[in-house]
Amino acid sequence: MAAQTTMSRSPLSQQSFRAIAAHAILITYTLIALFPVVIILINSFKSRNAIFRSPLSLPNSETFSLIGYETVMKQGDFVLYFQNSLIVTVSSLAMVLLFGAMAAFALAEYRFKGNLLTGLYLALGIMIPIRLGTVAILQMMVASGLVNTLTALILVYTAQGLPLAIFILSEFMKGISDDLKNAGRIDGLSEYRIFGRLVLPLIRPALATVAVFTMIPIWNDLWFPLILAPSEETKTVTLGAQVFIGQFVTNWNAVLSSLSLAILPVLVLYLIFSRQLIKGITAGAVK
Amino acid sequence: MKHKTIKMMLMASTVLGSAITAYAADATLTIESWRNDDLSIWQEKIIPAFEAKNPGIKVKFTPSAPAEYNAVLNSKLEAGSAGDLITCRPFDASLALYDKGYLASLASLEGIGNFSDVAKSAWITDDGKNPFCVPMASVIHGFIYNADALADAGVSVPTNEAELFAALDAIKAKGNYIPMAMGTNDQWEAATMGYNNIGPNYWKGEEGRNALIKGTQKLTDEAWVAPYRQLAKWKDYLGDGFEAQTYPDSQNLFTLGRAAIYPAGSWEISGFNQNADFKMGAFNPPVQKSGDECYISDHTDIGLGMNANTKNADAAKTFLNWVSSAEFASLYANALPGFFPLSSEPVKLEDPLAQEFISWRGKCKSTIRSTYQILSRGTPNLESDTWNASVAVIKGNESPEAAGKRLQDGLASWYKPQQ
Amino acid sequence: MEKPIQKPAIRWHILVFIAPAFLIYTAIMIVPLFGTLQLSLYKEIEGAKVFVGLENFNTLFGDPRWSESFWNALVNNTWFFVVHMLVQNPIGVLLAALLSTNTLRMRAFYRTSIFIPTILSFVIVGFAWKLILSPLWGVAPNMLDAVGLKFLFAPWLGKEEYALTTLALVSVWQFVGIPMMLIYAALLSIPDEILEAAECDGITGMSQFWKIKLPLILPSIGIISILTFVGNFNAFDLIYSAQGALAGPNYSTDVLGTFMFRTFFGFQLQLGDPHMGSAIASAMFVVILCGVSIYLFGIQTRLRRYQF
């Protein structure tokens, strides 16, 4: 509604010029963003020699080949790997978002002794790569019998994702109006309800953003699946695809196919979250 | 609601996890390895052959990502979650594992007697008393060529340096093929397929290598600088933009039939057989002058050891004894042409290219890569520096003499016999 | 947590809100990490772990063989960060500003497409860009040739003077979606009333962006800057997968992450040295902590925040 009034006010030619310029920039950048992706996709449907003979050409009757996808289907249980990746990613994500939002709320909302220190402490984790703690983490998992379980991965990724989530979410929490929360308090809502009913819906866009940032490194991680859960039953997609990258010989068809397939689930998750983002914002604006 | 899903998932995954551990109760041996490439060979040929003979024992081959192998293996051993059998890198990497008590001594293993001292040298304590890995395979360096390309330029297979450069010149002049397929992006190509491939002819194999360890030769000596001088001349025969050419690029360039000569390790054979649709041949590193004795790098590369903390020690020993047998040697060597058995028993190879490589053992003297034994124990690391220097020399950023001096200074900074 | 004894009510809800995150994070991240960092005060002498105080740091900064590598990595890392700040973040803000125009069609399409590279694994990114930039398979050379700029082509990833910048730009390409999304979220949450009020005052278009929107999204830009800083100084995967652990050519792409990984876990014939490795990690940690503290205490507290 607001937008329409804007438009009717500015002269038509200037308005359409601006729109064309915006489209031009966005299309240019979209091409830059997608070009390598398209190269990967078209080459995943070509025979190995054709990939390197002419990487830019589309597969034709001579070069078209599903060999990569066939190899992927034959070698290992990729359906299971996808399932493992999804379980790990979604569970860690849920924990990161819930626990992260709770902690961020406490830090942003209440004044208490040690607030700043706690905030800094919870942010330390983004400053040191968690890989360094590998041996200690593995020892812990061995001691608790969690090696080769998805739980081990979920715990590690939750810990890994929390600092960034808290860092970003507390910044967003500070932007939520105090009047609203105080009104809630006057109405007799408990602090938990204020968090759950008032604040969480309002920071949905931020939650969606954090969800996207958190999910990508988890989905693509090779290191912890390799160390904590390398068994056939707990392999993730990224680890499964690693089978095709040998010491000397890399099966590029299979690597491209398996990793192209691996984009899809994350893309779907991304679409879900970005819809949440828009929805959350529009809902907030209406209120 | 979110809470519930998490709980369910956590529970599901724990149940799944415990089910797996319960299943692995009997003598199941797990092999740690970096050889992703061999997964299907182990699953389809080697393991079935072993299990048929030893019904009580099951074997699982579980390779991890090659580049991450050392880091992953070390972490697992330290935390106690590594497999029963450990594939061993040669020399110090495995020696360090033995010293820390992660690898068991195999001095009492029957099968270890099937190997010569040279074969065992890569996996034995410095005092020669405790071998800790069964030698599995070595790789030989040389050059693989595209027969069509040599015919096209009208040259025959070179046997000395002058002939090699004449051949490269002729191929370059003809212009249909890139004379040599090698790049410097990944660095190790230049050092391994370059320096350590052609070097033994100059430093006379074991003689020079041992003299370097004893401190009686230096990396600034002519024998150690001369290979760099040859490498510097290779630059003109490499493809355009070789600076950014990666190792897989080199492989593809050759197998797609665009390059004539490929400085190689024998491990390439099976991949090349699969991907190249032209006739290939191989020649050993050309000697300086005809009549000189020839030397080859016949490098001990893969061994198999036993996790000192394994719960299945007896089964593991049974497997290691089998790995020492002639049966395994022949099975492995023929399944993986280019990885040559180290067992004293003669093995017949069916692949002609692999047969060509192994035939050099008869006419040339064998040695291993110069930097692997003892000399890469300190900082700066001689092997890493050799990669860097080989690249710099090929690119022309550093003179062969300067490279030699830099490496010598680095080595002398921590290695007593060289001080 | 401290328990104020005299205060009438302990605010239990604060504890409840913080506890789960605090516990998981402490147990699985902080304890292992600091367990590792303290290794930097020890050394392995003849198989035994011996306390040596700051000796490893002395070696790291005093021995030219180590210190040269460290400063080289730090300088490279700084350049890597500068490229991101100068290229990635402005592009991210520009794209977000364009996308947040209400009337623009195909917004969802643009937003998704531009974000796709961020989703990709490093293996794919490394493969795709090496294929494109390779002098052998002809993608970049032919494309430049088509517009008559073939002479500009060089084997960038193999040249010491270009390799790092090239990789930084690949990384920008991959991660531009992150600032874009954050800024986009911030721009969308500016209430319409504020913009309408601006319209009434005749502030539209570009000047509306500079005068109204930009000040409102400054906190988000601050977050992005600090995230870029932290991310870049922890960078590892892209360089490792494109150039290997030695970060060639001639260490010109070596950043703190690769230097630390190589030292800590070892590489090829070089055995891992957890003690020197954690010394480097501690130095990295200090660098990053300084940056974050400057942000937290110097910048964040001064940013004016608006509540809507």
Query: For the segment B286-333, what is each residue's pLDDT rounded down to a tens digit?
Result: 999 999 999 999 999 999 999 999 999 999 999 999 999 999 999 999
Q: Is the pLDDT of residue A5 over 50?
A: no
In degrees, rounded to 5, the angle at the alpha carbon of residue A247 between the alpha carbons of residues A246 and A248 is 95
pLDDT, position B13: 46
Indicate whether C6 belongs to any domain. Answer: no
Comparing CB atoms, the residue among B10, B16, B66 nearest residue A246 is: B66
* Helix, strand or coil, per DSSP, at residue B298: strand
Distance from CA of C67 to the nearest CA of B (A): 12
**pLDDT tens sequence across B212-258:** 999 999 999 999 999 999 999 999 999 999 999 999 999 999 999 99
Rounded Cα distance between C196 and C198, Å, is 5
Q: How far is B246 from chain C (nearest CA, A)?
A: 9
| A146, A206: one domain | yes
ipTM value, please give it. Answer: 0.86
A54/A83 same-domain check = no
Give residue C6's pLDDT band: very low, low, confident or very high (50, 70, 90): low
- Domain identity same for A144 and A19: no
Q: Which two tokens stand for residue B384?
A: 């890493």
Residue A85: phi and psi, rounded to 5, are: -60, -45
The answer to whether position C306 is within a domain reads no
C87-136 per-position pLDDT tens digit: 999 999 999 999 988 778 888 899 999 999 999 988 889 889 998 999 88
Q: C207 with C167, same domain?
A: yes
In a domain, C2, yes or no: no
Q: Which residue of C has its CA nearest to B378?
A: C270
Asked if B80 and A247 come within 8 Å (Cβ–Cβ), the reply is no
- Percent helix, strand, coil in chain C, to 5, is 70, 5, 25
User: Which residues does chain B have within 8 Å of residue C157's beta carbon, measured at their own beta carbons?
Assistant: 185, 244
Which of C21, C128, C236 is facing A102, going by the closest CB pair?
A: C21
pLDDT at B293: 95
Same domain for C22 and C139? no
pLDDT at B65 over 90: no
Query: Taking a C-beta distance cutoff of 8 angstroms, is the pair C276, C39 a contact?
Result: no
Chains touching C (3+ CB pairs < 8 Å): A, B
Asked if B36's CB is within 8 angstroms of A242's CB, the reply is: yes
Kindly list the residues of chain B whose beta carbon comes within 8 Å of any beta carbon in chain C. Answer: 67, 70-71, 74, 91-93, 96, 99-100, 183-188, 239-246, 249, 252-253, 371-372, 376-377, 379-384, 387-388, 391-392, 395, 397, 413
Provide the pLDDT for residue A6: 44
- Does B1 have pLDDT greater than 50? no
Count of pairs with CB atoms under 8 A, one residue in B, one in C: 108
Residues A234 and A159 occupy one common structural domain? yes
| Domain end (from A15, A37, A65) | A65
* Residue C133 structure tokens: 């930039």
CB C242 within 8 A of CB C126: yes
- A209 in the same domain as A178: yes
Are residues C123 and A113, on separate chains, in Cβ contact within 8 Å? no
Return the residue of A nearest to B252 by Cα. Answer: A52
Within-domain flag for C221: yes
Q: Is A113 on the interface with C (CB under 8 A)?
A: yes
Give chain C's domain count: 2
Strand partners, B365: B295
Tell me the chain A residues in contact with residue B63 when contact means C-beta distances shorter than 8 Å.
Answer: 243
Question: Which runs of E-coded beta strand occur in B37-164?
Answer: 58-63, 85-88, 133-146
User: What residues of chain C lie within 8 A of the CB of A271, using their CB?
Assistant: 112
Domain containing residue A57? 2-65
Q: Rounded to a whole number, what is the distance in angstroms from the first to the last CA of chain B?
A: 70
Neighbours of A (≥3 Cβ pairs closer than 8 A)? B, C
Cβ contact (<8 Å) for C29 and A159? Answer: yes
CB C179 within 8 A of CB A168: no
Residue C257 · residue C235 · CB < 8 Å: yes
One domain, residues C33 and C76: no
| pLDDT over 70 (residue C17) | yes
Q: Which residue of C has its CA nearest to B393?
A: C250
C76 and C189 share one domain: yes
Selected residue of C182, C192, C290, C296 to mutate for chain A interface (largest A Cβ count, 10 A): C182
For A:208-247, CB contacts with C below 8 A are 208-209, 212-213, 216, 219-220, 238, 241, 245
Asked if A92 and A59 sit in the same domain, the reply is no
Same domain, yes or no, for A97 and A151? yes
Sole residue written with tokens 């960092």? C37
Whether residues C276 and C146 fall in one domain: yes
Q: Which pLDDT tens digit goes with each residue over A83-119?
A: 999 999 999 999 999 999 999 999 999 988 888 889 9
Confidence of residue A285 (pLDDT cuts 50, 70, 90): very low
Helices (H), B258-417: 268-275, 313-323, 326-335, 352-363, 382-395, 400-412
Read off the tokens for C134: 């390779």
Last residue of a domain, one of A31, A49, A65: A65
How many domains does the structure of chain A reveal?
2
Any idea what DSSP says for residue B64? -
Q: Which of A15, A35, A65 is the endpoint of a domain?
A: A65
**Residue B170's pLDDT is what?**
97
Taking an 8 Å cut-off on Cβ atoms, the answer to whether A247 and B39 are in contact is no
| Cβ(B341)–Cβ(B347) below 8 Å | yes
- Identify the band that residue A283 occupies on the pLDDT scale cut at 50, 70 and 90: low
**Under an 8 A CB cutoff, do C155 and B413 touch?**
no
Q: CB C35 to CB A191 under 8 A?
A: no
Weakest mean pLDDT among A281-285, B400-404, C270-274: A281-285
- Residues in chain C closer than 8 A to B100 (CB atoms): 47
CA distance B406 to chain C (A): 12
Q: Quick one: C112 and C169 in the same domain?
A: yes
Nearest CA distance, A232 vs chain C (angstrom) = 21
Residues in C lying within 8 Å of B, measured between beta carbons: 47, 65-66, 130, 133-137, 154-159, 243-246, 248-251, 265-272
Q: Are residues C250 and C175 in the same domain?
A: yes
Q: Where are the beta strands (DSSP E) in chain C?
A: 42-45, 48-51, 266-267, 270-271
Which has the closest alpha carbon to B362: B381, B340, B331?
Answer: B340
Cα distance from C62 to chain A (closest Cα, Å)? 24
| Chain B interface test: which of A249, A253, A258 (most B C-beta within 10 Å) | A249
Q: What is the pLDDT of residue C244?
A: 87
Q: Which of C135, C154, C268 sits opposite B383 (nearest CB)?
A: C268
- Specify which residues B305 forms β-bridges with: B86, B133
Residue B270 to residue B286: CA distance in whole angstroms: 24
Confidence grade of residue A287 (pLDDT, cut at 50, 70, 90): very low
pLDDT higher than threshold 70 for residue B3: no
Could you say which of A138, A150, A223 has the minimum Cβ distance to residue B76?
A138
CA distances, C289 to each of A53, A127, B14, C85, C286 (Å): 49, 7, 37, 19, 5
Q: Do B99 and C266 touch (CB under 8 A)?
A: no
**Is there a single domain that holds both residue A192 and residue A158?**
yes
Q: Which domain holds residue C24?
A: 12-51
Judge: B388–C159 Cβ closer than 8 Å, yes or no. Answer: no
In the numeric block, which tokens belong to residue A283?
Answer: 């809902």
**What CATH number is attached to the domain comprising A140?**
1.10.3720.10
Sign of CA dihedral C301, C305, C307, C308: negative
B296 beta partners: B366
- B289: alpha, beta or left? (left if phi > 0; alpha if psi -120 to 50): beta
Q: Per the structure block, which two tokens stand in for C75?
A: 């300088």
- Does C44 share its domain with C65? no
Model pLDDT for residues A211-266, shown as the tens digit of each residue: 998 999 999 999 999 999 998 899 999 898 888 888 888 888 888 888 888 888 99
Share of chain A above pLDDT 70, in %: 92
The helix/strand count (H/E) of chain B reads as 20, 9
C133 and C194 inside one domain: yes
Asked if C248 lies within 8 A of B96 by C-beta distance, the reply is no
Residue range B26-136+301-350 in CATH 3.40.190.10: yes
3-state secondary structure of A217: helix
Q: How many residue contacts between A and C have a Cβ separation below 8 Å?
A: 276
**Same domain for C69 and C32:** no
How far apart are alpha carbons B241 and B252 in whole angstroms? Answer: 15
Tell me the nearest-neighbour CA distance from B65 into chain A, angstroms. 6
* Interface residue of A6, A43, A139 to substitute, partner C, most C CBs within 10 Å: A6
Write the residue in C36, C137, C173 that is nearest to A55 by C-beta. Answer: C137
Mean predicted confidence (pLDDT) in B399-406: 97
B18 — pLDDT class (breaks 50, 70, 90): very low
Contact of B399 with B231, CB cutoff 8 Å = no
Residue C308 — pLDDT band, cuts 50, 70, 90? low
Minimal Cβ distance to C115: which of A114, A136, A270: A270
Average pLDDT of the residues in C195-200 = 87
Bond into C249 cis (ω within 30)? yes
Q: What is the CATH number of the domain that holds C161?
A: 1.10.3720.10
Nearest-CB residue to C249 (from B99, B243, B371): B243
CA–CA gap between residue C166 and residue C178 (Å, rounded): 20
Shortest alpha-carbon distance between residue C108 and chain A (Å): 9
Q: Is it the case that residue B159 has pLDDT exceeding 90?
A: yes
- Start-end of CATH 3.40.190.10 domains in chain B: 26-136+301-350, 140-298+367-418
Residues A91 and A182 in one domain: yes
Per the prediction, chain C carries an average pLDDT of 89
Residue B24: which pLDDT band, with cuts at 50, 70 and 90?
very low
Q: Are residues A34 and A97 part of one domain?
A: no
Task: Tell which wins on pLDDT, A209 or A6.
Answer: A209
Question: Quick check: A8 pLDDT over 80?
Answer: no
Measure A85 CA to nearest chain B CA, in Å.
12
Interchain proximity B243–C159, CB inside 8 Å: yes
| Chain A, nearest residue to C176 by Cα | A33
Given a contact cutoff of 8 angstroms between Cβ atoms, the answer to whether C119 and A266 are in contact is yes
pLDDT digits (tens, 9 = 90+) for A126-155: 888 888 899 999 999 999 999 999 999 999
Check A154 against B18: CB less than 8 A apart.
no
Write out pLDDT tens, residues A193-214: 999 988 988 888 889 889 998 9
User: Please, which residues have CB within 8 angstroms of residue C131's CB and are 6 or more apart in sequence?
Assistant: A39, A43, A55, C137, C139
B346's tokens: 């003669």
How far away is chain C from the Cα of A233, in angstroms, using its nearest Cα? 22
> Tell me, which fold does domain B140-298+367-418 have in CATH?
D-Maltodextrin-Binding Protein; domain 2 (3.40.190)
Kindly state whether residues C166 and C212 are assigned to the same domain: yes
B328-371 pLDDT, tens digit each: 999 999 999 999 998 877 788 999 999 999 999 999 999 999 99
Using an 8 Å Cβ cutoff, are B322 and B343 in contact? no
Residues A176 and A213 in one domain: yes
In angstroms, the separation between the Cα of residue A40 and the nearest Cα of chain C is: 6
B353 Cβ contact partners less than 8 Å away, ≥ 6 residues apart = B144, B269, B272, B273, B280, B281, B282, B337, B338
Query: What does the pLDDT read at residue A12?
Result: 62
Q: Is residue B113 pLDDT above 50, yes or no?
A: yes
For residues C17 and C66, state if they share a domain. Answer: no
Q: Are strands B133-146 and C266-267 parallel, antiparallel or unpaired?
A: unpaired
